Amino acid sequence: MTPRSPSLLFVCLGNICRSPLAEGALRHAAQRHGLDLTLDPAGTGDWHVGQPPDPRAIAAARRNGVDISGLRARQVTADDFTRFDHLIALDRQNLADLRRLAPAGATARLSLLNDHVPGREGQGVADPYTGTAADFDQTWAEVTAAAAGLVRVLS
């Protein structure tokens, strides 16, 4: 029997900025390192369900050779807590929300994305939603650093 590939769900508030960027950064890093992972982004809120990532997020990823335009926002579900090995929040409020939403029998490990970056443990990734293209580029840099840390752990 072949072991199942590790599965990670990235969680932010609206699922159109940080979590799609995190999914794209880890997908890109995993491909470069030959890792087989199951990845998805989701939000704790439902405002953007069904929508593509913010155009500024798409542009930031594209500038770095990654296409996230096919992703669509969705909200975290109770099933996610057993379907995924890891639910990785992009900030402390979303981590607290995940802890509150976790159903009895949840098996996924909860963490902050920056817990996987030496020296950044416990810190959230700034939300670029109300910012400029430069803020989205900064978010891309942060999620890329975390993706490198996750690749080290998952390899």
Which helix (H) or strand (E) segment holds residue 31: the answer is: helix 18-32
* Tally of CB atoms within 10 A around 68: 23
Which residue in 40, 80, 97, 127 is the catalytic one? 127
Give residue for tokens 């997020």. Answer: 57
Q: Which two tokens stand for residue 71?
A: 């992703």
Which residue in 18, 27, 56, 74 is the catalytic one? 18
Rounded-to-integer distance, Cα 101 and Cα 78, Å: 7
* Tally of CB atoms within 10 A around 130: 7
127 noted as active-site residue: yes
The helix/strand/coil state of 19 is helix
Which residue in 12, 27, 91, 97 is the catalytic one? 12
Residues designated catalytic: 12, 18, 127
